[in-house]
């Protein structure tokens, strides 16, 4: 009656409204929770730990227990509890530890393990009648061999997690960010236009966004600084000024040059004037004597001038090649006539001497390699080398010596001396052959002298 | 027989209805679309009646504006007597309002206020962890961002010893009560064991994939538990240095781990806003506490009763160790990020916040009786106000805090204080503080 009137009666029934024996136990949960401490001695650990599991969320989960029971006592675990817990845990941990400490493969004897793994399968052949059997034996493995497969990832946590409903509000009351603020905080992902090792397809707008040239508009205050404009202006002004200066300097130089030329002209004119006056003075001295001569010279000059004019007229009628030739002839460079006459010849190049090292490869190598060689050419010519140390009959001082040497050669005792072809190499005295020494006393001395 | 069964059914239905009425009706806000549906189903007369009823109720000027409670509704149940008989009176008295009144009547225990006693400077970096000698209470040890561990005399505050060996921040310290060993966890992935007789590192526990945030010694077994950024708790055998067990399950880096002598022997709190109680015999978590909605940064065990407290941002709660039942919601809504927790025997819970405030609570009721800002050291920046670690000494009369201005501060209770002189902050439980 009353429940039909209230709003709550019209709401869907509460989740755990279906009454069962378990629900009654839940209803008395608080009392039980309080009692847990008193009766904990009888409970096994598993019961205690799983006591609250899978019962679903009840209101008591939210309620602080001390709100109802302000004087709730929570005694520290008794010594007995601590000891039992210690013993049980220690047993488990010792077991784990012993497994960890003992090296792999030593705990189980290999033979026994293998025998246990032998498996035999018997089956009928195709034709029937014949029974075949297969024995499956584990392949023996080297216990010291490193693992074939490498575990890269961490093992996932065990799936048997306890029932853990979320017992807090998930909708946070903190103010939500507006879209604008979120956009302001948005950092675009880094995209390279050069590297894409995984080969992902990257949309064009993202590429454009990542390009520094295009996102000037996005970041707003990235206008070109006015200093760039002022810089270019200043550069323009400076250039103009520099050009003006250059022009001024060139003008000044030209004016100076002109002035120099004028002065020089003036000087020349003055010189000419002086010379003329001088001549005039001389002429005035011997005017009468040489009046004929002067008229004659004037006449020849006139004739010369007329010939020159005629020549110019002729030249103006010639074609280009002839004119060039005429020009060359005027500067004494026209030799075509001489060639025809055989007077001009090509200059003789046979007399020019080249360094032979420029042409032969071996020579250049020698030049490179023989750095420690002081001289380019041997002092003595090759053919003379063999005869340096030869006694020359013609130049020998006395005939006796020659006779001696011929005698020696005939006896054949010291043929080595005869065949020697180079500088003498001195060796230690040979004391084993005193006879030889005695005989060759003079010759040995002679060697030392040479 | 049949008569009895009908009675029982009625009683059950009445019981469930009354539970629903009392617990959920006034607490939950009906979604608008459902409310519209309900209104559509109602007849005109019903609507009229409700309107009239609401007018009379507002005229009655209820004292509890937050929650409406209809006392006469319960009287409408004919079988309320039967309910009482079957389920006991206590169970029905769970309405929000009654609970609130009960709570208002409660008087939290008085504790003397705390004041600064001494400032010790000596570290060159943030003081990340503090641990007091559990045997003689003669010295305490701090670990710092400058990768050193320093041991100080508790009475005089003098430096006794500096231990160097870590290469990165020392994040956690634990001292064994049964051996002269101290364990330190560092961000360089290493847990070190120091021999306090030789004053040298004698063992390394190597195996964490990332920085280690916390280490704790098991009170009875010869193992230590360490946990860190790789979001697993590792148990190490002290003697052989072997990793005995790896407890995986957290989905974020683990901030603190705590060992207890009986089940749950390991409790850990994590960035994924959960606490886990671990069953180390089975190697899995036995209970996951999901009440916190943010990063749970700290965990503290009560020294005299079998319970623990945990703190996430603006949310301190205490739990019964045995089964993870929620015990108290502390009045900590305005505290912000809480870095450390510590409890003493007198039932004082200390919470140090990231913005440099110390908050003291009565452990049983959750009453915040004192809040004070930490004293700044001259020359330190405003941003360096932050309490990173804190611990009561073994007597519970001194509080040692390690702060981000590189100093260690020791706090004590005001002498000769009385409830009249120092009444503390007023006891004002809000219904809203029964948070979800």
What's the pLDDT tens digit per position in B158-170? 999 999 999 999 9
A132 lies in some domain: no
- Beta-carbon contacts below 8 Å between A and B: 204
Cα A15 to chain centroid distance, Å, stands at: 72
Here the CATH number for the domain that contains residue B251 is 2.130.10.10
Residue B252 has pLDDT above 80, yes or no: yes
Distance CA B251, CA B232 (A): 9
Give A211 or B74, the one with higher predicted confidence: A211
pTM value is 0.56
Torsion of CA B163, B164, B166, B167, to 10 degrees: 150
Q: How many angstroms away from the CA of B146 is the closest CA of chain A?
A: 32
Strand order in the sheet with B223-228: B212-217, B223-228, B232-237, B243-248
pLDDT band (50, 70, 90) for residue B73: very low
DSSP classification of residue B110: P
pLDDT band (50, 70, 90) for residue A156: low
Domains of chain A: total: 1
Give B277 or A195, the one with higher predicted confidence: B277
Which chain B residues touch A76 with a CB distance below 8 Å? 304-306
Q: Please identify, among B79, B105, B131, the residue that sits at the C-terminal boundary of a domain.
A: B105
Q: What is the pLDDT of residue A222?
A: 56
Q: What is the pLDDT of residue A16?
A: 53
Asked if B81 and B126 sit in the same domain, the reply is no
Q: What is the mean pLDDT of residues B106-126?
A: 93
What are the respective helix, strand and coil percentages of chain B, to the nearest 5? 20, 40, 45
Distance CA B270, CA B297 (A): 7
Residue B101 has pLDDT above 50, yes or no: yes
Other C-beta atoms closer than 10 Å to the C-beta of A301 total: 10
pLDDT band (50, 70, 90) for residue A233: very high
Which chain B residues touch A167 with a CB distance below 8 Å? 289-291, 436
Q: What is the mean pLDDT of residues B148-173?
A: 96
A275 lies in some domain: yes
Interval B346-400: pLDDT, tens: 999 999 999 999 999 999 999 999 999 999 898 898 889 999 999 999 999 999 9
> A290: helix, coil or strand?
coil
Give B28 or B194, the one with higher predicted confidence: B194
Within an 8 Å CB–CB cutoff, is residue A30 touching chain B?
yes
Return the minimum-mean-pLDDT range out of A105-109, B49-53, B165-169, B401-405.
A105-109
Asked if B223 and B160 sit in the same domain, the reply is yes
Which chain B residues touch A155 with a CB distance below 8 Å? 248
Interval A305-359: pLDDT, tens: 999 999 888 877 777 888 888 888 888 777 777 777 777 777 766 767 777 777 7
- Pair A139, A160: CB distance under 8 Å: no
Q: What is the pLDDT of residue A270?
A: 95
Q: What is the mean pLDDT of residues A371-385?
A: 67
Asked if B295 and B388 sit in the same domain, the reply is yes
Asked if B186 and B40 sit in the same domain, the reply is no
Q: How many angstroms away from the CA of B147 is the closest CA of chain A?
A: 30
Q: Please identify, among B61, B78, B105, the residue that sits at the C-terminal boundary of a domain.
A: B105
Asked if B41 and B99 sit in the same domain, the reply is yes
Q: How many angstroms away from the CA of A54 is the closest CA of chain B?
A: 11
Q: What is the mean pLDDT of residues A234-254?
A: 97
Other C-beta atoms closer than 10 Å to the C-beta of B144 total: 24
Q: What is the pLDDT of residue A55?
A: 60
Mean pLDDT of chain A: 73
A234 lies in some domain: yes
Q: Which of A54-58, A184-188, A444-448, B156-160 has the highest mean pLDDT?
A: B156-160
Question: Which residues span the domain enclosing B277?
Answer: 114-435
Return the minimum-mean-pLDDT range out of A67-81, B56-70, B254-268.
B56-70
**Reported ipTM exceeds the 0.95 cut:** no
Interval A89-147: pLDDT, tens: 999 999 999 988 876 655 555 555 556 678 888 888 777 778 888 999 888 888 888 87
Q: What is the pLDDT of residue A418?
A: 54
Q: How many angstroms away from the CA of B266 is the closest CA of chain A?
A: 12
**How many percent of chain B have pLDDT more than 70?**
84
Torsion of CA A269, A273, A279, A280, to 10 degrees: 150
The three-point CA angle A32-A37-A43 to 5° equals: 85
A52 lies in some domain: no
A421 lies in some domain: no
E strands, B5-96, in order: none
Asked if B197 and B101 sit in the same domain, the reply is no
DSSP H helical ranges for B142-301:
none
Q: What is the mean pLDDT of residues A411-428?
A: 60
Q: What is the mean pLDDT of residues B283-290?
A: 92
Residues 6+ apart with CB under 8 A from B18: B74, B77, B80, B83, B92
Distance CA B287, CA A164 (A): 8
What are the respective helix, strand and coil percentages of chain A, to the nearest 5? 55, 5, 45
Q: What is the mean pLDDT of residues B280-284?
A: 91
E strands, B165-209, in order: 170-175, 181-186, 190-195, 200-206
Asked if B274 and B183 sit in the same domain, the reply is yes
Q: What is the pLDDT of residue B223?
A: 96
Q: How many angstroms away from the CA of A136 is the closest CA of chain B?
A: 36
Question: Which residues span the domain enclosing A236?
Answer: 226-284
Return the minimum-mean-pLDDT range out of A103-107, A265-269, B237-241, B269-273.
A103-107
Q: Determine, for residues B306 and A75 on separate chains, whether the beta-carbon distance falls below 8 Å.
A: yes
Residue A427 has pLDDT above 60, yes or no: yes
Asked if B78 and B143 sit in the same domain, the reply is no
Asked if B78 and B189 sit in the same domain, the reply is no
Q: Which of A8-12, A19-23, A243-247 has the highest mean pLDDT?
A: A243-247
Give B217 or A386, the one with higher predicted confidence: B217
Domains of chain B: total: 2
Q: What is the mean pLDDT of residues A234-249?
A: 97
Asked if B307 and B224 sit in the same domain, the reply is yes
Residue A426 has pLDDT above 70, yes or no: yes
B 311-330 → A contacts, CB under 8 A: 317-318, 320-329
A250 lies in some domain: yes
Q: For residue B140, what are its two tokens?
A: 């305490």
pLDDT band (50, 70, 90) for residue B82: low
Asked if B302 and B368 sit in the same domain, the reply is yes
Nearest to B161 by CA among B152, B170, B169, B173: B152
Other C-beta atoms closer than 10 Å to the C-beta of B397 total: 15
Q: Please identify, among B57, B77, B105, the residue that sits at the C-terminal boundary of a domain.
A: B105
Nearest CA in chain B to A63: B326
Nearest CA in chain B to A91: B281
Residue B75 has pLDDT above 50, yes or no: no
**How many percent of chain A have pLDDT more than 70?**
58
A 114-173 → B contacts, CB under 8 A: 154-158, 160-162, 164-170, 172
Interval A251-291: pLDDT, tens: 999 999 999 999 999 999 999 999 999 999 988 887 666 67
- Pair B309, B317: CB distance under 8 Å: yes
> A128: helix, coil or strand?
coil
Asked if B88 and B236 sit in the same domain, the reply is no
CA neighbours closer than 13 Å in the CB half-sphere of residue A406: 7
B 328-347 → A contacts, CB under 8 A: 328-329
Strand order in the sheet with B387-392: B114-121, B407-413, B398-403, B387-392
Distance CA B389, CA B381 (A): 19
**How many percent of chain A have pLDDT more than 90?**
21
Q: What is the pLDDT of residue A177?
A: 85
Distance CA B115, CA B413 (A): 6
Q: For residue A221, what are its two tokens?
A: 């205050």
Nearest to B375 by CA among B119, B130, B152, B113: B119
């Amino acid at each position: 009656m009353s429940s039909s009137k209230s709003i709550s009666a019209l709401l869907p029934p509460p989740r755990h409204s279906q009454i069962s024996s378990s629900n009654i136990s839940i209803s008395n949960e608080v009392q039980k929770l309080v009692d847990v401490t008193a009766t904990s001695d009888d409970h096994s650990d598993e019961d205690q730990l799983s006591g609250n599991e899978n019962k679903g969320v009840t209101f008591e989960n939210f309620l602080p227990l001390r709100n109802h029971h302000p004087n709730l006592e929570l005694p520290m675990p008794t010594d007995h509890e601590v000891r039992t817990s210690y013993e049980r845990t220690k047993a488990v941990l010792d077991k784990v530890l012993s497994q960890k400490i003992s090296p792999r493969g030593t705990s189980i004897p290999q033979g026994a393990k293998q025998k246990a793994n032998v498996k035999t399968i018997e089956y009928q052949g195709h034709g029937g009648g014949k029974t075949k059997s297969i024995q499956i034996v584990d392949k023996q493995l080297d216990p010291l061999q490193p693992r074939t497969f490498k575990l890269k990832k961490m093992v996932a946590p065990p799936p048997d997690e306890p029932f853990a409903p979320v017992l807090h509000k998930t909708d946070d009351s903190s103010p939500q960010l507006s879209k604008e603020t979120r956009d302001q905080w948005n950092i675009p992902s880094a995209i390279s236009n050069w590297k894409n090792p995984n080969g992902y397809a990257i949309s064009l707008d993202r590429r454009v966004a990542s390009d520094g040239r295009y996102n000037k508009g996005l970041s707003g205050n990235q206008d070109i600084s006015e200093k760039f404009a002022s810089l270019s202006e200043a550069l323009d002004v400076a250039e103009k000024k520099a050009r003006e200066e250059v022009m001024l300097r060139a003008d000044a130089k030209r004016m100076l040059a002109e002035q120099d030329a004028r002065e020089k002209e003036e000087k020349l004119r003055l010189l000419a004037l002086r010379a003329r006056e001088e001549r005039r003075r001389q002429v005035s001295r011997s005017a009468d004597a040489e009046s004929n001569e002067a008229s004659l010279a004037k006449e020849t000059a006139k004739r010369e001038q007329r010939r020159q004019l005629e020549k110019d007229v002729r030249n103006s009628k010639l074609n280009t090649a002839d004119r060039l030739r005429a020009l060359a002839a005027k500067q004494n460079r026209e030799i075509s006539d001489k060639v025809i006459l055989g007077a001009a010849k090509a200059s003789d190049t046979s007399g020019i001497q080249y360094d032979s090292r420029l042409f032969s490869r071996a020579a250049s190598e020698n030049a490179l390699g023989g750095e420690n060689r002081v001289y380019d050419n041997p002092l003595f010519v090759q053919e003379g080398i063999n005869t340096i140390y030869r006694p020359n009959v013609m130049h020998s001082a006395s005939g006796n010596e020659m006779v001696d040497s011929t005698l020696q050669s005939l006896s054949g005792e010291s043929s080595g001396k005869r065949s020697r072809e180079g500088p003498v190499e001195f060796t230690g005295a040979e004391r084993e052959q005193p006879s030889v020494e005695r005989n060759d006393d003079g010759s040995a001395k002679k060697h030392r002298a040479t | 027989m049949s008569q009895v069964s009908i009675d029982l059914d009625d009683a059950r239905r009445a019981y469930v209805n009354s539970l629903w009425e009392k617990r959920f009706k006034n607490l939950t806000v009906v979604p608008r679309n459902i409310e519209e549906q309900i209104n559509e189903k109602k007849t005109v007369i019903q609507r009229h009646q409700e309107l009239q009823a609401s007018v009379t109720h507002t005229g009655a000027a209820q004292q509890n504006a937050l929650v409406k409670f209809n006392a006469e509704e319960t009287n409408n149940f004919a079988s309320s007597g039967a309910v009482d008989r079957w389920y006991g009176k206590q169970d029905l008295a769970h309405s929000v309002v009654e609970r609130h009144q009960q709570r208002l009547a409660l008087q939290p225990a008085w504790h003397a206020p705390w004041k600064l006693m001494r400032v010790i400077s000596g570290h060159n970096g943030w003081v990340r962890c503090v641990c007091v000698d559990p045997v003689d209470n003669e010295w305490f040890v701090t670990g710092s961002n400058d990768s050193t561990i320093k041991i100080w005399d508790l009475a005089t505050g003098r430096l006794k010893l500096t231990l160097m060996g870590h290469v990165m921040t020392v994040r956690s310290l634990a001292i064994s009560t049964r051996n002269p060993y101290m364990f330190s966890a560092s961000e360089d992935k290493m847990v070190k064991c120091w021999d306090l007789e030789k004053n040298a590192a004698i063992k390394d526990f190597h195996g964490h994939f990332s920085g280690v945030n916390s280490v704790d010694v098991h009170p009875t077994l010869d193992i230590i538990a360490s946990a860190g950024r790789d979001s697993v708790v590792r148990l190490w055998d002290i003697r052989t240095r072997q990793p005995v067990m790896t407890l995986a399950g957290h989905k974020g880096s683990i901030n603190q781990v705590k060992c207890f002598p009986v089940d749950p022997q390991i409790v850990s709190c994590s960035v994924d806003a959960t606490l886990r109680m671990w069953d180390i015999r089975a190697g899995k978590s036995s209970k996951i506490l999901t009440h916190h909605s943010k990063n749970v940064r700290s965990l503290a065990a009560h020294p005299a009763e079998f319970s623990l407290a945990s703190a996430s941002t603006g949310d301190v709660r205490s739990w019964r160790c045995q089964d993870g039942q929620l015990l108290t919601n502390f009045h900590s809504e305005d505290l912000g990020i809480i870095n450390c927790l510590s409890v003493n025997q007198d039932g004082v819970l200390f919470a140090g916040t990231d913005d440099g405030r110390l908050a003291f609570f009565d452990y049983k009721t959750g009453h915040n009786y004192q809040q004070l800002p930490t004293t700044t050291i001259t020359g330190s920046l405003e941003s360096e106000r932050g309490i990173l670690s804190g611990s009561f000494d073994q007597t519970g009369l001194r509080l040692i805090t390690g702060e981000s201005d590189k100093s260690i501060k020791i706090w004590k209770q005001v002498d000769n204080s009385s409830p009249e002189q120092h009444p503390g902050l007023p006891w004002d439980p809000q219904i809203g503080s029964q948070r979800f």
